[in-house]
Amino acid sequence: MIINADVIIDFSNPSNLEEILTFAQENKTAVLLCTTGYSSEDFKKIEQASKNIAIMQAGNTSIGIAVLKLLVSLAVEKIAEWDYEVIEAHHNRKTDSPSGTAEELLKLLQTDEDKDSIRFGRNPKTGKRKVGEIGVHSIRGGSIVGDHTVMFAGKDEVIEIKHRAVSQDLFASGALRLARFLKGKEPGRYYVEDAYK
Ligand SMILES: NC(=O)c1ccc[n+]([C@@H]2O[C@H](COP(=O)([O-])OP(=O)(O)OC[C@H]3O[C@@H](n4cnc5c(N)ncnc54)[C@H](OP(=O)(O)O)[C@@H]3O)[C@@H](O)[C@H]2O)c1
């Protein structure tokens, strides 16, 4: 099937990736992947496809999250020695955890990937917090649209940087903004940050 579209926007399920990439390459159409929960194999397929089409994987299309990431990067620069924890909350139908946005925040927080270990939740057997550990906690319930908090805990003081999505509409309007950016771009891999420069 041939389509005449500028950009394909996908918010669905990672299992659709191969079909979307094949279709987009056949049609030479740019792709904005807003779905989360992709595996490392999936990211290799995205990388491969970016040789033929313009492609962006946007784990969060919200402008507020783009700003939150800037604030987190600034905090990491200033208070590298503090303890970091990420807490995210989503509705009870979400299939992946932690959220794609939490994964992106973790990348910003990891100053040294070999040293900074990620701790997915804690349980009675977890034991004491290790130096350099970064905790990530996923809450699932009801119709929560999407909350992300990055906590910086130092001696005698705590900073929390929090974003709350109150309606899914913001993801749609953010995606349209990113799609307008992708329209007509040369094949390659593009990032949300590119659209806000
Ligand atoms: N990047 C962002 O800013 C952002 C924001 C919100 C969500 N997300 C991500 O987007 C994805 C969907 O989230 P959601 O909360 O919207 O989930 P959802 O409520 O389960 O919606 C997924 C939709 O995709 C449809 N779908 C799945 N496979 C399909 C296929 N092969 N053909 C046609 N339609 C298909 C589903 O249809 P049926 O109901 O008929 O199965 C459903 O309408 C998740 O990966 C989520 O993490 C990203």
Q: What is the pLDDT of residues 77-115, one digit of tens each?
A: 999 999 999 999 999 999 999 999 999 999 999 987 666
Name which CATH class applies to 7-57+169-195: alpha beta
pLDDT at 2: 67
pLDDT at 59: 87
- Give bridge partners of residue 30 from the DSSP assignment: 7
Q: What distance in angstroms lies between residue 11's CA and the mean position of ligand 1's atoms?
A: 5
Active-site residue (options: 90, 137, 148, 163): 90
Cis previous bond, 124, omega within 30: no
Q: Contact at 8 Å (CB) between 143 and 115?
A: no
Residue 49's Cβ-count burial label (10 Å; 0-12, 13-18, 19+) is buried
Closest atom, ligand 1, to C-alpha of 175: 3
Q: What is the pLDDT of residues 15-30, one digit of tens each?
A: 999 999 999 999 999 9
CATH 3.40.50.720 residue ranges of the chain are 7-57+169-195
CATH topology of domain 63-165: Dihydrodipicolinate Reductase; domain 2 (3.30.360)
Q: What is the pLDDT of residues 51-87, one digit of tens each?
A: 999 999 998 899 899 899 999 999 999 999 999 999 9
3-state SS class at 25: helix
The CA–CA distances, whole Å, from 148 to 28, 29, 90, 97, 176 equal 35, 32, 9, 13, 22
Confidence of residue 193 (pLDDT cuts 50, 70, 90): confident
Closest atom, ligand 1, to C-alpha of 61: 3
Comparing CA positions, the residue from 25, 189, 172, 140 lying closest to residue 17 is: 25
Residue 76's Cβ-count burial label (10 Å; 0-12, 13-18, 19+) is middle
Report residue 47 CA to chain centroid gap. Answer: 16
Q: What distance in angstroms lies between residue 4's CA and the mean position of ligand 1's atoms?
A: 23
Average pLDDT over residues 170-178: 94
**Residue of the CA atom closest to atom 18 of ligand 1:** 12
183 is catalytic: no
Please, what is the average pLDDT of the chain? 94
